Amino acid sequence: MAIHDDLNQFKRNNVWDLVPSNKDMNFIGTKWVFRNKLNEDGVIVKNKARLVAKGYNQQEGIDYDESYALVARLEAVRLLLAFACVYDFKSYQMDVKISFLNGFIDEELYVSQAPGFIDCKLPKHVYKLKKTLNGLKQVPR
């Protein structure tokens, strides 16, 4: 169910289009990453699956121009919390499940079909990305 939920998110967000591949096309492989969510007692509560691109195969200058790393500086977090305390702001923490699927991509990138979910009518086709996919070097932009 976790895999189907992840694939449905791609459809809802219009992340890619299935296109025919050719010899000149440089495409990136994909793989499934599985994780079990545990409660405080160490009991499995939820199984999670995420389709990620094999971004370690990307070549600078061909697949991407710059890589990014979003890191919050500890000083900035402390400053934000200090302002929240002084001005009596309410602060919340939230987790965006599909945050990387909301970013548009400027480059023309292709990824292989998801392992185990290859279209039987179009097995030689690849996905052309419209939006970012976890694992790519340019995703955090």
Let me know if residue 19 belongs to a domain.
Answer: yes
Question: pLDDT tens-digit profile of 43-59?
Answer: 888 888 888 878 666 55
135 in the Ramachandran plot: left (φ > 0), alpha (ψ -120 to 50) or beta?
left
Q: Give the per-residue pLDDT at 78.
A: 92
Residue 65 has pLDDT above 60, yes or no: no
Count of domains forming the chain: 1
Note the pTM of the prediction, 2 decimals. Answer: 0.66
In a domain, 48, yes or no: yes
Domain membership of residue 35 as a residue range: 2-64+96-129
Q: Give CA 128 to chain center in angstroms.
A: 15
What proportion of the chain, given as a percentage, has pLDDT over 90?
Answer: 11
| Residue 77 falls inside a structural domain | no
